Amino acid sequence: VEILSGVFEGRTTGAPISLIVFNTNQQSKDYDEIAKLWRPGHADYTYDMKYGFRDYRGGGRSSARETTARVAAGAVAKKILGMLNVDIMAYTKSIGPVTIDMANFDRDQIYKNFLTMPDASKVAEAEAYLTKVKDAGDSAGGVIECVVNNCPVGLGEPVFDKLDGLLAKAIMSLGAMKGIEFGSGSDVTTRTGSENNDFFTYVDGELSKETNHAGGTLGGLSDGSQIFMRVYVKPTPSVHTTQRTVTKDGRNVDVNIEGRHDPIIVPRAVIVIEAMVALTLVDMLLANMSSKLSNVMKVYQT
């Protein structure tokens, strides 16, 4: 990453921080075939329809490469959150059918294996599954979880910009994400209200909740407890198996897509999800500054 603007003598100046990453890993190859057809599971067709034209070299903006910029910007957001001790952690919950055992959860493991799994005991099994899938020219999906600790109370806005709504949008704005849940997620649907409500309690004068089924928000505002999200990620659409598709000029064809392909998106998405959560929280942190006139006074009165 190169910083083009906004930083001077080690400090931000208030000007936009412009970060640039040049793609040095481009491979010149023959795009003739790909230009003429729409790959299944990709955005080729929708881009052509929306814009009347597309950049067929690697997918343009619909490529996961686009998320590089999000991670770079997220790093800045994390610095700001760090000043308030807000802590964001995402990790791989499962790779295909292989799910971690929460009893073995060890945060230190996350970046020690390339699958970003916090349970060292499951890594070998997940790797074996992935190798098998990859050898078949195929790809795998999985689950990512993300938690935020020590988030200030009151972030989010009460109607359309609820914090969970904004986080859902931020994460679903990443390609390949097919679902998101907060707190107990789909489990809430078979509970009763008295089972699902999180009771407040003062413990040694400190407010807390006996449970956290809500996943850290109440009425769309952060409530100070842990924010918990679970995200469902589809398998990489780029596979080497023979697929049926169509050409732009109206023919049904079989296609074998060549080239490098990641057999799984999950581990790479872990850091991107952290970035999107960080960016969303900083936005809301700044927006929330003016929620009380007493805050306005704190800033302007000297």
Residue list 19-58, contact with a second copy (CB under 8 A): 38, 40-43, 45-47, 49-55, 57
Q: Nearest distance from residue 59's CB to a second copy, in Å? A: 8
Select 96 or 267, whichever has its Cβ closest to a second copy: 96
Beta carbons of 124 and 110 less than 8 angstroms apart: no
3-state secondary structure of 25: coil
Task: Report the distance separating Cα 173 and Cα 275, nearest Å.
Answer: 12
Task: Report the distance separating Cα 246 and Cα 223, nearest Å.
Answer: 50
3-state secondary structure of 245: strand
CA dihedral of residues 269, 273, 274, 277 (deg, nearest 10): 170
Q: Nearest distance from residue 28's CB to a second copy, in Å? A: 15
Site for a second copy in 231-260 (CB under 8 A): 232-239, 241, 243-246, 250-252
Task: Report the distance separating Cα 41 and Cα 26, nearest Å.
Answer: 22
- Token duo for residue 175: 């390609």
Site for a second copy in 104-123 (CB under 8 A): none
Q: Any residues with CB less than 8 A from the CB of 258 and at least 6 apart, and which?
A: 240
Q: Any residues with CB less than 8 A from the CB of 154 and at least 6 apart, and which?
A: 221, 222, 288, 291
Select 94 or 113, whichever has its Cβ closest to a second copy: 94
Taking CB under 8 A as the criterion, the residue among 100, 142, 227, 278 binding a second copy is 142
Q: How many residues bind a second copy (CB under 8 A)?
A: 129
Is residue 154 packed enough to be buried (19+ CB in 10 Å), middle (13-18) or exposed (0-12)? middle
Is residue 59 packed enough to be buried (19+ CB in 10 Å), middle (13-18) or exposed (0-12)? buried
Taking CB under 8 A as the criterion, the residue among 24, 27, 28, 301 binding a second copy is 301
Site for a second copy in 267-296 (CB under 8 A): 285-286, 288-296
Q: Which stretch binds a second copy (CB under 8 A): 24-32, 106-114, 154-162, 267-275?
A: 154-162
Q: Nearest distance from residue 108's CB to a second copy, in Å? A: 25
Q: Nearest distance from residue 73's CB to a second copy, in Å? A: 11
Taking CB under 8 A as the criterion, the residue among 73, 75, 127, 165 binding a second copy is 165
Site for a second copy in 185-204 (CB under 8 A): 185-186, 188-202
Residue in the block written with tokens 């390949």: 176
Q: Nearest distance from residue 77's CB to a second copy, in Å? A: 12
Task: Report the distance separating Cα 131 and Cα 114, nearest Å.
Answer: 13
Site for a second copy in 212-231 (CB under 8 A): 214-215, 217-224
Q: Which stretch binds a second copy (CB under 8 A): 9-17, 26-34, 102-110, 112-120?
A: 9-17
160 belongs to the binding site for a second copy (CB under 8 A)? yes
Taking CB under 8 A as the criterion, the residue among 29, 36, 112, 298 binding a second copy is 298
